Amino acid sequence: MNAFLHIDFPALAAALLALVGCGTLGNWLVLRKEAMTGDAIAHAVLPGLVAGFLVTGTRSVAAMFLGAALAGVGAILLAGWVRARTKTGAAAALGIVFTACFALGVALLETRGARQVDLDPECVLFGSLETLFYVVPAEGSWIAGVPRAIWSLAAAACVALTFTAMFAKELTLLSFDREFARFSGVAPRALERALLIVVSACVVASFEAVGSVLVIAFLACPALIAAPHARSVRGQIALSLAAGAAIATGAYFLAAFAPQLFGARSALNAAGMISAALAAAVPLSHIARSMLNRRRA
């Protein structure tokens, strides 16, 4: 039990907080048929992370966070500009800008020597869930021992939930019928930009702890799992979070403890296992829906 509290609980809590933040916002992306946007943003923040590292010379969290946030917002504005100036569609404009950003990030990483230091590509992909420990502080309150990543994830989750609660009506309208939204006093472009900025912030805050693979999975999969079964937007968000939490918890324990049952000494990568489980659940959810429909018919 002690080992669980100190080792597994912080990692699981981090994963679930990232799920609440990214998973909630992912519903709006999926409702807007823009599930790819999450993927794109997760790629776009890379040059910002690297640039933040290069400018300060340390893996200072504040610098990298700021760089990533600027890169995310910059890429979104650039994609909007490409879309307005050319005849490409929204998705294609995003694709152009975000792959370019990612390429820039990789080029920076390779040429500027960041690779030799501490910026581990593996860490970028799979995060650092396994390094989150809770150590009871020798003195002072128990709160001081909570890993810093937990706080930034909790803040991101709060921002995502608050944004969703405040603009639920307007976001629903925007997703369902953009032109009608304008007749209802909603400024579609401003709201779209706000959504993307909040998504970027959430992605950046989740990046360090859970890695880009799991961020992308949390943005797209829970909403895609819930979509075939939901009858209302609120229902879809609730279902996506419940299903996502159940799957993530199950997958975490599978990764942590299943190898031991087979005599292995190590554990599997938790972020990778959760991502795989979420990805597998999407088609299963759709198959379940069509089987239910067939039975009813």
Partner 1 sequence: MKKITSAQKGGGRDPVNSPQRNSTLPLEVRGLSAGYGGERSVVHDIAFTLAPSTMTALIGPNGAGKSTLLKAILALLPECHAERIAFFGTELSAARARVAYIPQRSAIDWNFPASALDVVAMGLYRKLGFFRRVGRDARETARAALETVGLGAVSTAPISELSGGQQQRVLIARALAQDADLLILDEPFANVDALTEERIAEVLRGLRDRDRTILAVHHDLRSVRRHFHDVMVLNGSLLAKGTAVEVMTDAVLAEAYGFPLERNA
Contact set with partner 1 (CB under 8 A): 31, 33, 166-167, 169-170, 172-173, 175-177, 179-180, 182-186, 227, 230-233, 235-236
What's the closest the beta carbon of residue 23 comes to partner 1, in angstroms? 16
Cβ atoms of 225 and 240 within 8 Å: the answer is: yes
Residue spans of alpha helices (H) in the chain: 2-3, 9-31, 35-56, 61-85, 90-111, 121-126, 148-166, 168-176, 178-183, 188-226, 233-261, 270-296
Between the alpha carbon of residue 201 and those of residues 22, 123, 140, 155, 160, the distances in Å are 10, 19, 31, 10, 9
What's the closest the beta carbon of residue 175 comes to partner 1, in angstroms? 7
Instruction: Give CA 37 to chain center in angstroms.
Output: 11
What's the closest the beta carbon of residue 96 comes to partner 1, in angstroms? 20
What's the closest the beta carbon of residue 236 comes to partner 1, in angstroms? 5
Residue 197 buriedness (CB in 10 A; 0-12 / 13-18 / 19+): middle
What's the closest the beta carbon of residue 43 comes to partner 1, in angstroms? 26
**Residue 225 or 233: which CB sits closer to partner 1?**
233
**Residue 128 or 236: which CB sits closer to partner 1?**
236
**Residue 81 or 176: which CB sits closer to partner 1?**
176
**Residue 140 or 185: which CB sits closer to partner 1?**
185
**Residue 223 or 267: which CB sits closer to partner 1?**
223
